[in-house]
Amino acid sequence: MTRACTHTPAPATPQPASVEGRACRTCTLCCRLPDIDALDKPANAWCRHCTAGHGCAIYPERPTLCRDFLCAWMTRPDLEPEWDPLVAKMMVYEQGPQTTVLVDPDHPAIWREAPYAAMLERWATEAEAKGGYVILFVGDAVFKIAPSAR
Ligand code: SF4
Ligand code: SF4
């Protein structure tokens, strides 16, 4: 499936290194939230290779798409601790001008709450100044985050 506002992460080239001290730990949001055509996986459904409590069952042979993907929290040292996906219940990634935020449907309102609502508005304002924008997915709903009113 192809969407104008893409929901499917694609690795940057070259893939940036992960920020020192950060690790996925028990997070598996990127095995659940995005749609991944190569794995025939719809959005918000567990990848068939993800096993509860163990993560990827095909880790040594996982697809290149998975091998090369790191979310923004893993690669952007400027993201605050609140954006740890285990805390935020959201995963963030960037593709060109688009910053994509996928919200765990088990926590559908968290992005409207403090501190995230104000942070997302700030991101949208900063992105707009550079010709970019922030798109947020919650279940089947899609929102373009509005920049701060001037
Ligand atoms: S969403 Fe980020 S922190 Fe979570 S498993 Fe994927 S890359 Fe790791
Ligand atoms: S193949 Fe493995 S790493 Fe890739 S989405 Fe599925 S469980 Fe996650």
Q: What is the best residue among 7, 30, 66, 70 to mutate for testing ligand 1's pocket, by most ligand atoms within 8 Å of CB?
A: 30
Q: In the structure, which protein residues have their CB atom closer than 6 angstroms to any atom of ligand 2?
A: 31, 39, 47, 49-50, 56, 58, 62-63, 66
Mean pLDDT, range 30-54, rounded to an integer: 92
Question: What per-residue confidence (pLDDT) applies to 52?
Answer: 74
Domain carrying residue 112? 29-144
* Residue 105 belongs to a domain: yes
Question: What per-residue confidence (pLDDT) applies to 77?
Answer: 96
Domain count within the chain: 1
* Residue 2 belongs to a domain: no
* Residue 110 belongs to a domain: yes
The pTM of this model reads 0.91
DSSP state of 82: G
* Residue 150 belongs to a domain: no
Question: What per-residue confidence (pLDDT) applies to 147?
Answer: 95
pLDDT in tens, 56-99: 999 999 999 999 999 999 999 999 999 999 999 999 999 999 99
* Residue 11 belongs to a domain: no
* Residue 79 belongs to a domain: yes
* Residue 7 belongs to a domain: no
Confidence of residue 11 (pLDDT cuts 50, 70, 90): low
Q: Is the CB of 29 under 6 A from ligand 1?
A: yes
* Residue 39 belongs to a domain: yes
Question: What per-residue confidence (pLDDT) applies to 14?
Answer: 59
